[in-house]
Structure 1
Amino acid sequence: MKRTRLRLRQTTQEFWFIPAVMTALALILAEAGISTEEAYGVPDGLSFVYSGGETGSRNLLSAIAGSSIGVAGTVFSITIAALSYAAGSMGPRLLDNFTRDRGNQLTLGTFIATFAFSLYTLRAVTGSQDQPFVPHYNVTFALVLAIASVAMLVYYLAHVTGSINITHVANLLRNDMRDSLMSATQKEDPNRDLAVAPPPAFWQGGEVLHAPSGGYLQLLDHDLLLGRADEANVALLLHVRPGDYVFPNSVIAVGVPRLPDGVMDALTLGDRRTVGQDLEYSVRQLAEVAARALSPGVNDPVTAIDVIDRFGDALCSLQDRRWPDGVYYQDHQLRLVVPVTDFDGLTNTMFNMIRQYGKGSPSVMLRMLEVFRTTASCLKDDERRAAIRRHARLVYEDALANTANSGDRADIEKRYRELLDTLANGQDAEVKAAAQHAVQQAQGNRVR
């Protein structure tokens, strides 16, 4: 069932889906309007309905059909240009965010539906002397669609320029990342029992499952795997997690004492990574935007700083949430162990690439240390604070090694010391520093 929902969601997000549905509906409405008028005619009281003759309706429908398909071609051209810009400046993996955009799909669908409706109606106009027929309802509705097309064109021009704005893209990716984080983590429960996985020796001698084909693991149905393992009264260890590339004939699961039936039914493989269970994919998309911004050809540290801020936002939202254990029991019997993303892995994906590409930019390094400091004041868990300390140390060392200016080096050392104070003293140091900063600002305002 989850696999079916995944495929259905992927299909409905395709760029062609909404235009195809709107075109089909337009053809159905055109036929319904023609049939209704043939059966009942047009009441005299409906003054708003088109009342022209055969020649006028033909000319009108031809003009609407020709102009709508012409503007649709222009919309296609603008879309391709926007996609080319996005692929060049923000990375080809972000193209899905533009093709999945409902505004782009609705605009294209409106023009194609107008063309299909007008063309289908045009074929019903007859000018014979014995039995002339003009589908007045349809001509009226075609006029409505033409006006709607003009409105959609104005909307689209504003929408497409906003959709390729880097801040807008960063916010979209931030929302995807936050949704994935909330789905992957759970509310902290101090009374819960910590599930512990058995040692590696437990799985020795178990039955091994080799991957029949290759591809990215897009979806893992935990409930189905847990149910199959419980029915077979076995323990199952999975070696892959969503986002991993599964190589053909590689070991992906071990069952003790044997494998349950239908393990592959719970694993959905595909040609590309998808947002959802693959938490690191959403993070990598944002990290790639920052890495491209820091490349010598672009040299845009402001965009990298925007991305760092979004990462800090995501980490602070994890204050009261925990990672799943990846260990599942049924009736006190071990049934399933799956690998999961942890806080260390998440921060590695967030900051390693940015640090490596931005080590020569003092402004980026300073902002990373500032975000680490704020994040350290939000997080209470010692392991997570240790991960922040480790990344801060890496940033500090790389920044000093690649910064020659004495003033910039002094700023980096100051930010690093403030971070260490926050890690050592908790929120008290952060509150004290904020108070001192406010006092300094007030004093500066009085001097001015």
Structure 2
Amino acid sequence: MKLNHWWQELRSSFWFVPAAIVLSAVVLATVLITVDATVDLRAVERWPLLFGAGAAGARGLLTSVAGSMITVAGVVFSITLVAISLTSSEYSSRVIRNFMRDRVNQVVLGVFVGIFAYCLVVLRTIRGGGEGGFVPSLAVLAGLILAFVGIAFLIYFIHHISMSIQASNIIARAAQETLSAVDHLFPGELAEDEDENVDGDLATSLANQPWSVVPARHTGYIESVDADALLDAARERGTILRMERGIGEFVVEGAPLVSLLAPGDPDDETTAGLNAAYVVSRQRMVEADAAYGIRQIVDIAMKALSPGINDTTTAVMCVDYLTAILVRLAARRIGPSHGLDQGELRVIARGPSFESLLAKAFDQIRQNAAGNVAIMSRMIDALQTIAGMTAGPGRRRVLRNQVQWIADLAERTIGSPYDLARFERRLAHVLEAMEAMEADKR
């Protein structure tokens, strides 16, 4: 779990991939120089125009390439920062991490800095006739080829950055990461007649028992939890452990993190061991927290609906991609999976539910869509689509509740009788379709 946390941090950094490319460039330069020094290359004599640059010419070529590459690297870095700043102000600061994780941006920056490092290593080995005379012709030719590679990367980077700041691509990238997280976190299918409240009822029945609280030792967002470690801790102590905070929630140092079904305060060893099962970070990560991926798209929709921007089209796209995520969730088993030891309850887990994820996706958009017929119409269409993929009567009930809340908002805020009548016709069609679905499920 710790290694995964560090790996995700490395993936999101602007130094790891460029540093690896620079190291590879230095190794390449060293290998080619060694080959030039130890192997008698007949190709140098056969193609003098290609390999036959003298010491002065080789120095001039590599100096020009090195100078231009480090200049372009600075330009690329500046363009990336401008794109990040623009995206943060226009859409949401939550998507900055997606730009930093973008492999193209990392590789392009690494390529230019790597070519610069390559040229420096080769330059220091070139000697004129009075210094013993050594020109690594193969390494110099490779430097020229790398210069053309850098030009190709620059052209592609300009195309890539211009595409990546478009609203559709930003939303689609966030949605794709969320869908991948959904597939990883919720692989199980929910049966049509399965009761999602069984686990909740089991936890409620123990609420009045004596619990000892284990406080958190760090402040931040819970990034991931080692469920096996919690299960082992409960098994060793022969008790039941209850998670007080789940993935994606904010915990304050000294606040309850977990509770043990036992009287008295836990000792320092128990507190340290249970805290070690949690990774607490300054920010949430989509890989273990699908709700955070939904939060990113909702933030973009909120910014689009703000009076200062008033971009209904972008908000509609957000609703469309949220629909795709909720359709994927509609038939999945989402509730927290309690830890069992040979059929005996050991860990009362804490996690999201379909109802909570649906609320995170649509509540704030609905609250900020007052009078916006396009958004409200698209939302009820989305709920109809989700209802067609939903397993379980409980989920269809919360979907109907969302439709009713949107209908109430429309009745209060749509001023035009024509627009209201058109919306009500659409609403009647959606409700009729959902009732037909309900009848088919029976």
TM-score scaled by structure 1? Answer: 0.90
Q: 8 Å contact 1:203–1:255 — kept in the other structure?
A: no
Greater Cα offset, 142-151 or 310-319: 310-319
The structural deviation recorded for 1:95 is 0.7
- Aligned counterpart for 1:236 among listed residues 234, 237, 241: 241
Q: 8 Å contact 2:203–2:348 — kept in the other structure?
A: no
For residues 27-66 of structure 1, the aligned pairs below 5 Å read: 27-44=26-43, 47=46, 50-66=51-67
Q: Which residue identity does 1:199 align to in structure 2?
A: T
Distance across 1 between alignment mates of 2:131 and 2:322: 74
Alpha-carbon distance change, 103 to 228 in structure 1, aligned in 2, over 3 angstroms: same
The structural deviation recorded for 1:172 is 0.7
Counterpart secondary structure, 2:184 = helix
Greater Cα offset, 146-155 or 30-39: 30-39
Structure 1, unaligned runs of 5 or more: 430-448
Partner of 2:166: 165
Counterpart secondary structure, 1:318 = helix
The structural deviation recorded for 1:19 is 0.8
Give CA deviations for 1:218-261 in whole Å, capped at 9, x if unaligned.
Answer: 01111221122223322100111111111111011111237684
- Length, aligned pairs only: 429
Partner of 2:399: 388
* 2:368 aligned with 1:357: yes
- Aligned counterpart for 2:346 among listed residues 335, 339, 354: 335
Distance across 1 between alignment mates of 2:74 and 2:203: 61
The structural deviation recorded for 1:98 is 0.8
Distance across 1 between alignment mates of 2:204 and 2:131: 90
Q: 8 Å contact 1:170–1:307 — kept in the other structure?
A: yes
Partner of 1:439: none
The structural deviation recorded for 1:319 is 3.9
The structural deviation recorded for 1:367 is 1.0
The structural deviation recorded for 1:332 is 2.0
Q: Which residue identity does 1:246 align to in structure 2?
A: V
Q: 8 Å contact 1:13–1:100 — kept in the other structure?
A: yes
* 2:23 aligned with 1:24: yes
Q: 8 Å contact 2:44–2:137 — kept in the other structure?
A: no
- Aligned counterpart for 1:223 among listed residues 212, 221, 228: 228
Partner of 1:345: 356
Partner of 1:98: 99
Distance across 2 between alignment mates of 1:209 and 1:149: 55
Partner of 1:436: none
Q: Which residue identity does 2:153 align to in structure 1?
A: M
- Aligned counterpart for 1:213 among listed residues 208, 215, 218: 218
- Aligned counterpart for 1:369 among listed residues 375, 380, 401: 380
Greater Cα offset, 77-86 or 148-157: 77-86
Give CA deviations for 1:121-163 in whole Å, capped at 9, x if unaligned.
Answer: 1111111425111111211111111010000011001100110
Q: Which residue identity does 2:260 align to in structure 1?
A: G
Q: Which residue identity does 1:14 align to in structure 2?
A: S
Distance across 2 between alignment mates of 1:242 and 1:331: 25
The structural deviation recorded for 1:427 is 7.1
Distance across 2 between alignment mates of 1:349 and 1:295: 18
Q: 8 Å contact 1:377–1:422 — kept in the other structure?
A: no
Alpha-carbon distance change, 152 to 130 in structure 1, aligned in 2, over 3 angstroms: closer
Distance across 1 between alignment mates of 2:135 and 2:77: 33
Alpha-carbon distance change, 130 to 155 in structure 1, aligned in 2, over 3 angstroms: closer
Alpha-carbon distance change, 320 to 189 in structure 1, aligned in 2, over 3 angstroms: closer
Alpha-carbon distance change, 352 to 40 in structure 1, aligned in 2, over 3 angstroms: same
Distance across 2 between alignment mates of 1:187 and 1:366: 32
Q: 8 Å contact 2:17–2:107 — kept in the other structure?
A: yes
Q: Which residue identity does 2:338 align to in structure 1?
A: V
Q: Which residue identity does 1:286 align to in structure 2?
A: I
Q: Which residue identity does 1:423 align to in structure 2?
A: M
Alpha-carbon distance change, 112 to 45 in structure 1, aligned in 2, over 3 angstroms: closer
Distance across 2 between alignment mates of 1:34 and 1:203: 75
Distance across 2 between alignment mates of 1:406 and 1:189: 42
Greater Cα offset, 84-93 or 417-426: 417-426
Distance across 2 between alignment mates of 1:186 and 1:113: 41
Distance across 2 between alignment mates of 1:189 and 1:349: 21
